[in-house]
Amino acid sequence: MRTLSWHEFDQAVAAIADRCHGQNFSGIHGIPRGGLVLAVCLSHRLELPLLSAPEPGCLLVDDVYETGLTLAPYRELAGCTTVVWVSKAQPQWWQAVEVTDSREWIVFPWENAAAAAADEQLYRASR
């Protein structure tokens, strides 16, 4: 398991904000659950509204791209820019702060480590 820190989170928020500076987004939508934390921080940082649902022209954020199933429904959203903190695949139509080829389970700063371990077991058993 790889545990990310709040310091690393702050760095990821800064990296996304730098990439998005000067772009004209309608707002920010975070994919529940992990993307919500990023979205709230970026909403403040970029002074953009936090959207309850994705819409054309928005910045869409999530914590991790693993299989692509979570983000797939948003791929064709007009004018939408999608950014994840960590991508376990080479970005194609989305952007990533960090790309890794590690299959290691990631524990984000807002997660409970014991619950994350249980989530990992369920995930791996389903594959």
* CATH architecture for residues 2-126: 3-Layer(aba) Sandwich (3.40)
Rounded distance between C-alpha atoms, residue 62 and residue 104, angstroms: 18
Name beta bridge partners: 47.
none
Rounded distance between C-alpha atoms, residue 16 and residue 119, angstroms: 27
Percent of the chain at pLDDT exceeding 70 = 100
Among candidate residues 82, 21, 92, 91, the one with its CA nearest the CA of residue 56: 82
Domain boundaries, the chain: 2-126
pLDDT tens by residue, 38-89? 999 999 999 999 999 999 999 999 999 999 999 999 999 999 999 999 999 9
pLDDT above 80 (res 127): no
